[in-house]
Structure 1
Amino acid sequence: MVPQPPRRTTHAFGTPRNRLVYDRWGRFGRPVVLLHGLRYDRTMWWPVAAELDGTCAAIAVDLPGHGDSVPRPGLSRLAEDLALLVRGLDLHRAPVLVAHGESARLARAFAERYAVQHVITLDAGTAPDLAVVPAAFRQFAVRRNDPTLTPAYREWSGVPVGAGPQAHVAAGAFPHLSDPVAFAALVHGLV
């Protein structure tokens, strides 16, 4: 049996004050940057990222104050930090951005300043229906209750999804968890 490389690797980028932690699947191909919504973390993307493995470089990022990334007092440089992260991965291709809920604003800010292949936004809704998510994937759809995050991300509330010429809106709060294979096929069609 030949040893296989790990499918998912975890990395940190930046300084201790602005560190972003991310998981990566794949080394080559079009980068697909996966951005979670407010009070979620990068683990929400694990099922679909595993389906993308081998055909693109999937990167699931913990936004500041979420998961293992450090909190920040201001988020004005977040699009720039995300661009530095993508550039630092030496992928040399415009990414596909997939944004869940409130991170649609970050994806839009990134797309206004940097080259992107496509932007996909998922509307998280106010009370997402977890019944559409198979039981095996519900653990990835759990919102963490951290009241300290709300003030930091206040400007992200009420974000309309689908703005911009390169935007694709996926229906439902968790289409990437309801059917990871079909969602990966949607992303593959854009890379």
Structure 2
Amino acid sequence: MHPRPPRRTTHAFGTPEDLLVYDRWGCSGRPVVLLHGLGYDRSMWWPTAAELGDDITALAVDLPGHGQSAPRDHCGLDDLAQDLAMLVHGLDLRRAPILIAHAEAAYVATRFAARYSTHRTITVGCAGSARLDDVPEPYRQFAIPHQIPNLLDAYREWPADALPRSTHPGAEHFPHLRDPAGFAALLHNLR
């Protein structure tokens, strides 16, 4: 019997000033880039990513100033889209990614898709008000935003209104936490 590598591995990309930390699952197949909204971190995608299996390469990235990624004085959309493109390119994944963006991360995903090859972009949690009661108890810990002092100063140029509506059919908020296996199945069907 051969030992299996861990399903989730954590990596860092960039220099100390623009460091992005991400988790990776799988090693082949269509890449899926998972982006969290402001105040959250990459862990909000763990339940879904764990359901994807090894035939999809999932990357859950901490945006600057979130989780373990370095804070920045300025987080421009063009800069973040370019950082993600360099990350995906550097991993030599050989296929255009599917971008899944939660809440405000839809801006980054939209900018990325406008500039770089993208298989598909899906946004979740961009309309209405979040209801934590709709998230099953074991996953609620992933649906609670963190209080990060001065975070919004770095994101001040992001549009403050008219977030894109959710492009995931059905549930508006946290569909990936309401039903991680179902959301993973949706992603498998998009390959």
User: What is the alpha-carbon distance in structure 1 between the residues aligned to residue 104 and residue 146 of structure 2?
Assistant: 15
User: What is the alpha-carbon distance in structure 1 between the residues aligned to residue 59 and residue 175 of structure 2?
Assistant: 18
- Structure 1: any 5+ residue segments left out of the alignment? none
The one-letter amino acid paired with 1:15 is T
1:82–1:52 distance in 2 versus 1, CA, 3 Å: same
Residue in 2 that maps onto 1:60 = 60
User: What is the alpha-carbon distance in structure 2 between the residues aligned to residue 62 and residue 126 of structure 1?
Assistant: 24
Residue in 1 that maps onto 2:42 = 42
Task: Show the 5 A alignment for 1:105-120.
Answer: 105-120=107-122
Q: Secondary structure at the match of 2:188?
A: helix
Residues matched between the structures, number: 187
User: What is the alpha-carbon distance in structure 1 between the residues aligned to residue 159 and residue 24 of structure 2?
Assistant: 25
Q: 1:41-60, CA deviations, whole angstroms, 9 ceiling, x for partnerless residues?
A: 00000000011121210000
Q: Secondary structure at the match of 2:58?
A: strand
Q: 1:21-42, CA deviations, whole angstroms, 9 ceiling, x for partnerless residues?
A: 0000001111000000000000
Give yes or no for contact 2:22–2:62 (8 Å, CA) kept in 1. Answer: yes
Residue in 2 that maps onto 1:169 = 168
Q: 1:139-184, CA deviations, whole angstroms, 9 ceiling, x for partnerless residues?
A: 111100124112222314335325xxxx933432100000001101
Residue in 2 that maps onto 1:71 = 71
TM-score of the aligned structures, taking structure 1 as reference length: 0.92
Residue in 2 that maps onto 1:29 = 29
- Structure 2: any 5+ residue segments left out of the alignment? none
Residue in 2 that maps onto 1:158 = 161
Identity across matched positions, percent: 56
1:100–1:175 distance in 2 versus 1, CA, 3 Å: same
User: What is the alpha-carbon distance in structure 2 between the residues aligned to residue 126 and residue 157 of structure 1?
Assistant: 15
The one-letter amino acid paired with 1:72 is R
Deviation >6 Å, runs of 4+:
none
Residue in 2 that maps onto 1:87 = 89
The one-letter amino acid paired with 1:84 is M
The one-letter amino acid paired with 1:70 is A
User: What is the alpha-carbon distance in structure 1 between the residues aligned to residue 61 and residue 6 of structure 2?
Assistant: 18
User: What is the alpha-carbon distance in structure 1 between the residues aligned to residue 161 and residue 21 of structure 2?
Assistant: 26
Residue in 2 that maps onto 1:123 = 125
TM-score of the aligned structures, taking structure 2 as reference length: 0.92
User: What is the alpha-carbon distance in structure 2 between the residues aligned to residue 23 and residue 30 of structure 1?
Assistant: 16
Give yes or no for contact 1:104–1:159 (8 Å, CA) kept in 2. Answer: no
